[in-house]
Amino acid sequence: VEKILNNEFNSSLGKEGVQIIDPFAGTGTFITRLLQLNLISSEKLLHKYRYEIHANEIVLLAYYVACINIESVFEDYTKSNQFESFNGMVLTDTFQLYEQEKDLIADLLPDNSERRKRQKASEISVVIGNPPYSAGQNAANDNDQNIKYEKLDSKIEKTYCSESKATNQNSLYDSYIRAFRWASDRVKENAVIGFVTNAGWIDSIAHSGFRKCLSDEFDKIYI
């Protein structure tokens, strides 16, 4: 992602104004590595940490572990004796962010709700992470999606499904395909999405519409 920002946009992950998000943070691996790789200069690290790095996680335990991991790495690299909490972490279902204005736990966790609002108001330039595979299904091979996202799924229907040549389009509502749709709609111009995915979408008939939309919506695709 850093190389693509450099080459395509004369930009950088460390540049002020480049807002970064991991929408499926898990235990915070991608954000901790971002801090460890020295891609952000020491002069700009505090500003990025406070205002321009975002992460979402829906599982409570993973959320807390991610916070601890990210805060520990930041403390190690800044060699600061003063603890600085990571306020970019949000306990939320990323796919639900734009389904409704107010999240279900806003009254219980007002600080989390405020961070959620701040994130939604941020203009994201970089989306990185490892999207969930078949989250919300009973089994990995089960095409029955248990969780529906009305707005997100409607956009998938109008794009990936409408361009697809396949009769069975259930796989286009898989969580990692939803992640691409969500990220594609979330970023603006001069942005980069970097996801870890399986390889099924590369040549399957079911994902023909997905591939068509990627080629229409993006200037370059790296696999």
Tens digit of pLDDT for each residue in 77-131? Answer: 888 777 899 999 999 999 999 997 766 565 677 788 899 999 999 999 999 999 9
Question: Mean of the pLDDT values across residues 36-62?
Answer: 95
Maximal C-alpha separation, the chain = 60
Report the distance separating Cα 41 and Cα 83, nearest Å.
Answer: 20
pLDDT digits (tens, 9 = 90+) for 179-221: 999 999 999 889 999 999 989 899 999 999 999 999 999 999 9
Percent of the chain exceeding pLDDT 90 equals 77
pLDDT in the model for residue 45: 94
Interhelix angle for 175-186 vs 208-217, to 10°? 20
pLDDT in the model for residue 165: 83
pLDDT digits (tens, 9 = 90+) for 129-155: 999 986 444 444 454 456 889 999 999
pTM attached to this predicted model = 0.91
SS3 content of the chain, % helix, strand, coil (to 5): 45, 10, 45
Report the distance separating Cα 134 and Cα 144, nearest Å.
Answer: 9
pLDDT digits (tens, 9 = 90+) for 34-48: 999 999 999 999 999
Question: Mean of the pLDDT values across residues 62-67?
Answer: 97
Question: Mean of the pLDDT values across residues 44-64?
Answer: 96
